[in-house]
Amino acid sequence: MKLYKNGKLLIDGAFIQKDLLIEDGKIKKIASDLECNCETIDVKGKKIIPKLIDIHSHGANGIDFNLANLEEMRKLMEFYKSRGVGTVLPTVMTDEDEVMKKQLSLIKELAKEYPEIKGIHLEGPFLAEEYRGVMPIRLLQNASFEKFQEYQQAAGGLIKLVTVSPEVPGAIDFIKKVIETEVVVSLGHSGADYETAMKAIEAGAKSFTHTLNAMKHLTQHAPNIAGAAYLSDNYIEVICDGRHIHPDVVRFLVKVKSLDKFIGVTDSMMAAGLGDGRYRLGVNDVTVIDGDARLTDVGTRAGSTLLADICLKNFLKFTGLPLESGIKIMTENPAKLLGLYDLTGSIEEGKLAEILVID
């Protein structure tokens, strides 16, 4: 057991002076003046917050989940932990079939060592050509539940989130079948009209991937998929680096969607945590200049160099919100989307003791 004394615990959106007792990796007791014949840590008035959740990251620190071996992935996980991440969904992007299955299988093995991996995000290959971003056009596929099952088998059932374009052939039926397996469907890389996007939501899609990026925007004549993101009750992923989304547009999205439906993500690639230079993102060559990652040949933005803790700091700066309310975009909200809120995402008795002590 371990006892944290004299901490300011983030509970229900406010910092409250309490003691925190941890046993077997779970929060056993929260109360004042706790005593225990165990390791005791006096945090001397410091704040205790939940660890961060990043549901969309391709890599960082020179490592890419589409390219890495198991030892490299271990180094990547240690790097995430050093940035305050308690839950990450390694994101495997569209690639050759055998590559995707191999990497999913490696992540399955990695998850046995790292409880921070509570699922995998599969971004593709069921995506629209026109809004594919950096996804190789030759590797895109129509939506196929049978193909998804092949990926899921390779992942040992760890795929918990899949991004699909609602306009690709077979997408609506695909969504209906996938959600029956308790996998969350997110809509993205899409030029779908409003009606098609809403049909996908009615079929069971619950979120939008890197909202407003690789996505057809709303106009005065057609709401399109962006309008569905605004008007539905779905969650929205937002890359809070100030490049993918202007800071004032971040504020707009919070106002339109409410804080409860906003999820901050990094969408980070291997250059995150490193300097400018030449890198890879899946099958793509990427050049980073002034922290901005773009395809070397055509200049399309290719993921981000954002880190999870910086993502949260940027969001608080952009919106003016305090930590105690704004932190939910990378704790409570993603946990609820993934159905993990009974385990993590807040400081409560019975939940995993995934906590950070900060000044």
Residue 182 is classified by DSSP as: T
Q: Residues 249-286: pLDDT tens digits?
A: 999 999 999 999 999 999 999 999 999 999 999 888 99
Q: Residues 85-123: pLDDT tens digits?
A: 999 999 999 999 999 999 999 999 999 999 999 999 999
Written as one string, the DSSP assignment of 219-268 is -SS--HHHHHHHHSS-EEEEE-SSSSS-HHHHHHHHHHH-GGGEEEE--B
pLDDT at residue number 284: 87
Residues 6+ apart with CB under 8 A from 79: 60, 61, 63, 273
Measure Cα distances from 353 to 19, 73, 327 in Å.
Answer: 13, 23, 17
Please state the separation of Cα 248 from the chain's center in Å.
21
Written as one string, the DSSP assignment of 64-119 is ETTT--HHHHHHHHHHHHHTTEEEEEEEEES--HHHHHHHHHHHHHHHTT-TTB--
Query: Which is it for strands 2-11 and 47-50: parallel, antiparallel or unpaired?
Result: parallel
Give the C-alpha separation, 5 to 2, whole Å.
Answer: 10
What is the identity of the amino acid at 121? H
pLDDT at residue number 282: 87
pTM of the predicted protein model: 0.97
Domains annotated on the chain, with CATH: 2-49+351-358 (2.30.40.10), 52-337 (3.20.20.140)
Other beta carbons within 10 Å of 255: 10
Residue 62: pLDDT band with limits 50, 70, 90: very high
Q: Residues 150-203: pLDDT tens digits?
A: 999 999 999 999 999 999 999 999 999 999 999 999 999 999 999 999 999 999
Tokens encoding 90: 């390694």
pLDDT at residue number 72: 98
Mean of the per-residue pLDDT values of the chain: 97
pLDDT at residue number 259: 98
Q: Residues 305-337: pLDDT tens digits?
A: 999 999 999 999 999 999 999 999 999 999 999
32-48 exposure pattern, b = at least 16 Cβ within 10 A, e = fewer? eebebeeeeeebeeebb
